[in-house]
Structure 1
Amino acid sequence: MKRIIPLLALALTFSCQNTAQVNKKQLDVINAEPIEVPIKKGKARAYFASGCFWCVEAIYESVKGVEESISGYAGGHTKNPTYASSNTGSTGHAEAVEIIYDPKVVSFETLVDVYFASQNITQLNGQGPDHGSQYRSIIFYQNEAQKQVILKKKAALAKKLNAKIAAEVYPFQKFWVGEDYHQNYERLHPNHPYIKNVSIPRLNRFKANYPKELLKSKSH
C-alpha cells in the first residue's frame, strides 16, 4: 500500500543512489536491441515509467486517443516481477504503464510530451513522496525513430530549463502486467488517502496545464 511519508522521514530513510542499474544483467537490458510491438486492430502500444503507476495510468487515460492504460513492471532483468519484488529495488524493474492508443488520433510524440508534462522531470529515482529505483523515470523506445524523438525532446527540455532531466531512455524488452488489484486503482478507490492526496492532485496539475483540445471531455 502506498503511504504518504513526511519529508524528513523520507530523507532519512531513502537513498538517491540507484543500485538497480549497476549489475551486468541490468546493463545487458539497457544495451539490448529494442523489441517492436506490432499494431493490433489499429492500436499501438507505448511504455513509460514515471513513479507510481496508479498516478500515471489515470493521466494517460485522460488523453484523447488513449484507449487503455495498464499498470505493470518493465525495465528490469528478472522474470515475473511482482509488486513485492520490485519494491526491493533489486529486480531492476520500475512501476510502468502500457499505453494502448490509436496512432491516427494521438502520436507517439504527443505521448512523450504528456510524459514530460505530467511529472517532476528533474526528480531522480522517484516522483513526489515515492522514492527508490522502482519509481524512477524511464521512457522505452521500440525503434530508432522513437529513440530520436525521446532524445531530442529530452535535450530540448534540459536546455530550456538548464537542468538535468532524470528520465532514462531504455530499449523496450518486455512489459509484465501488474496484479489485478493495481488496475484502474485511482478510479476504483477515489477515497484512498494516497489517491486523494497524491494521485488526484498530480492528475489535476497535468490537466490544468495541458491543451484542453488534447484531453477527453470526460475522464478521471
Structure 2
Amino acid sequence: MKKLFLIPVLLISFSCQPKSKTKKEVAVEPIPEKVLLSQEDLQQYETAYFASGCFWCVEAIFESVKGVKEVVSGYSGGPEKNPTYEQVAYGRTRHAEAVKVYYDPEIISFQKLVKVFFGSHDPTSLNRQGPDRGAQYRSIAFYETKEEKKIIDDYITLLVSEGVYDRPIVTEVEKFDVFYGAEDYHQDYERKNPNNSYIKAVSIPRYNRFKENFKDYLKEDAH
C-alpha cells in the first residue's frame, strides 16, 4: 500500500527558527540518560547526510531507526564556512538544516536510510516543511559515492513511476561537501525539550506519523 507522508500546515506561529528563550528551555520531567559514543567509536560506522526541514525533527526520526548509532544536527549544502544557527535559520546562508547519520551497514543499508528520508517528510514541498519556510528547510539527499547517487535516483524514479505523490518531487540530489555540527543545545533537542511548544505541536506528531508507517524499522525502545 502506498503511503504518502505529508506534513500538515499549521495556522499557528510555531517555528523551528530561534527565539529568545530557546537556550533556556528545559523539560519538566527527568531526561533519560543517553549512551554517548566517542569519536573513536563512531569512526567504525558509515555516514549519511540528509536535510528535510527542522533538524530537531529529523534527528529524532533517524535516532529511532535500527542500525543508526548516532545522529548529529548541523548545517550543509552551502558555501559559507562555520555557519551559526541564527544565520542559517534566518536564511542568511545557502546552507540547509541537516543531519549526519552514523549507521551500521550490517544492520541497515543506505538504501533503507533513503526510504526513511523520503518516508518521513514531504519531498514535494519546495523550500518548506510544515510551518517552517525558506531554502534552509529544503529537501536534500546528499551522496558521497556514485553508488549512493544511483540509489537515490533509482528510488525517486520508483516513487514517480508508482505515483506515490500527486506533485513533482523537488528533493535536491547533491554531492556531499562539508557538514558543520550545530551548537550543543540543538543536539537531542526533541528528547531534552518535550514540553517545547514547537516540539509538542510539530516535531512529535511528525515523529509519530513516521513510527506508524515504519514499525519494522524501529529500535525496541522507540515503539
TM-score category of the 2 structures, normalised to the smaller one: 0.7 to 0.9
- The Cα shift of 1:76 comes to 0.3
Q: Deviations over 1:19-58 (max 9, x none)?
A: xxxxxxxxxxxxxxxxxxxx96430110000000000000
User: Matched residues in 1 for 2:71 and 2:123: separation?
Assistant: 21
Q: Deviations over 1:73-94 (max 9, x none)?
A: 0000110011111123242100
Q: Residues 9, 43 of structure 1: CA spacing in aligned structure 2 closer, same or farther, 3 A cutoff?
A: closer
Residue of structure 2 equivalent to 1:218:
221
* Amino acid across the alignment from 1:69: V
Residue of structure 2 equivalent to 1:44:
46
- The Cα shift of 1:9 comes to 8.1
Pairwise CA RMSD of aligned residues? 2.0
User: What percent of counterpart residues are identical?
Assistant: 53
User: Matched residues in 1 for 2:138 and 2:90: separation?
Assistant: 13
- The Cα shift of 1:218 comes to 0.4
* Structure-1-length-normalised TM-score: 0.80
* Amino acid across the alignment from 2:197: P
* Amino acid across the alignment from 1:207: K
Is the aligned partner of 1:168 residue 2:172?
yes
Residue of structure 2 equivalent to 1:60:
62
Question: Partner of 1:55: helix, strand, or coil?
Answer: helix
Q: 1:136 aligns with which of 130, 134, 138?
A: 138
Checking the alignment, whether the CA contact within 8 Å between 2:42 and 2:102 is kept in structure 1 is no
Checking the alignment, whether the CA contact within 8 Å between 2:10 and 2:130 is kept in structure 1 is no
Is the aligned partner of 1:202 residue 2:181?
no
- The Cα shift of 1:72 comes to 0.2
* Structure-2-length-normalised TM-score: 0.79
User: Matched residues in 2 for 1:8 and 1:63: separation?
Assistant: 30
User: Matched residues in 2 for 1:160 and 1:79: separation?
Assistant: 40
Runs of 5+ in structure 1 lacking a partner? 11-38
User: Matched residues in 1 for 2:43 and 2:149: separation?
Assistant: 24
Query: What is the total number of aligned residue pairs between the two structures?
Result: 187
Residue of structure 2 equivalent to 1:115:
117
Checking the alignment, whether the CA contact within 8 Å between 2:68 and 2:102 is kept in structure 1 is yes
- The Cα shift of 1:159 comes to 2.6
Q: 2:98 aligns with which of 91, 96, 106?
A: 96
Greater CA deviation, 193-202 or 158-167?
Answer: 158-167
Residue of structure 2 equivalent to 1:150:
152
* Amino acid across the alignment from 2:124: T
* Amino acid across the alignment from 1:205: R
- The Cα shift of 1:214 comes to 1.9
